[in-house]
Amino acid sequence: MTVTALPVDESNDLLGQLIDEVKSRKDGPSKKKVRLLLYGSEIDDIALIQLLEASGANVVIEDICMGTKAYLHDIALEGNLIANLAERYLGKITCPRTFRFSPASREAELAQRFGYITSLAADYRVNGAVLYILMFCDCFEFDMPDVRDYLKAAGISSLHIEDDYTLSGMNALKTRIEAFFEIIQEGQ
């Protein structure tokens, strides 16, 4: 739940309602063998997540534009609060369009850019990643080979899906996803 454009009181009320609802649930999703990290640009239609889960996976963590990454870092409450807020939004939220780092080596650059993804994967015990990119989202497309190679070096299998925002080829996509899940399960 992203509440970046609502008044604070309304946001807090909605968040409180969501927390109460989650705490009151008695049943959860069935546990499946494939635990996924979903990485990529904007996703505001749950059809892809539904397809992944219907195909035999649990999406246990995501790193998409308006998802978890917006909540990974707190704002420092000491010192200049406006500067702290700016640092949090401009320096802490990892996005290909705002990457600012001058590494000593290529390995240092990749670790700086994508190390948090492997940390999320370890924390949530994922055994695969779906890299979802909207066509013409150049920032993410330019990063895709690097993030794919970084995950591969970390022992995390990944599936790259590029979509035109319509998810029009769902049957073909389902076949690719199921084949990817078979590869993950064979590697376990």
> Could you tell me the residue ranges of all domains in the chain?
1-30, 32-73+101-186
Task: State how far the Cα of 86 lies from the Cα of 178, in Å rounded to an integer.
Answer: 42
End-to-end CA distance of the chain: 33
> For residue 179, what pLDDT band results from cuts at 50, 70 and 90?
very high
pLDDT value at residue 121 = 95
Domain range 32-73+101-186, its CATH number among 3.30.70.60, 3.40.47.10, 3.40.190.10, 3.40.50.11900: 3.40.50.11900
> For residue 94, what pLDDT band results from cuts at 50, 70 and 90?
confident
> For residue 93, what pLDDT band results from cuts at 50, 70 and 90?
confident
Angle separating helix axes 138-153 and 106-123, nearest 10 degrees: 80
56 vs 112, higher pLDDT: 56
Number of residues that this document lists for the chain: 188
Task: State how far the Cα of 105 lies from the Cα of 91, in Å rounded to an integer.
Answer: 20
Q: How many CA atoms lie within 13 A of 37 on its CB side?
A: 25
Q: Is the model's pLDDT at 104 over the cut of 90?
A: no
**Mean pLDDT estimate for the chain:** 86
Q: Is the model's pLDDT at 118 over the cut of 90?
A: yes
pLDDT value at residue 180 = 95
Percent of the chain with pLDDT over 70: 94
127 vs 41, higher pLDDT: 127
C-beta contacts of 173-182 below 8 A and 24+ residues apart: 173/51, 174/51, 174/55, 177/51, 177/52, 177/55, 177/57, 177/130, 178/55, 178/56, 180/128, 180/130, 181/34, 181/55, 181/56, 181/57, 181/128
Quote the pTM value. 0.80
pLDDT value at residue 99 = 63
> For residue 92, what pLDDT band results from cuts at 50, 70 and 90?
confident
Which SS3 state, helix, strand or coil, does residue 109 take? helix
Tell me the per-residue pLDDT of 133-170, one tens digit each, with 9 for 90 and over. Answer: 888 888 888 889 999 999 999 999 999 998 887 767 78
Tell me the per-residue pLDDT of 32-45, one tens digit each, with 9 for 90 and over. Answer: 999 999 998 888 77
pLDDT value at residue 37 = 96
Sequence-distant (6+) residues with CB within 8 A of 105 are none
Q: Is 180 exposed, middle or buried (0-12, 13-18, 19+ CB in 10 A)?
A: buried
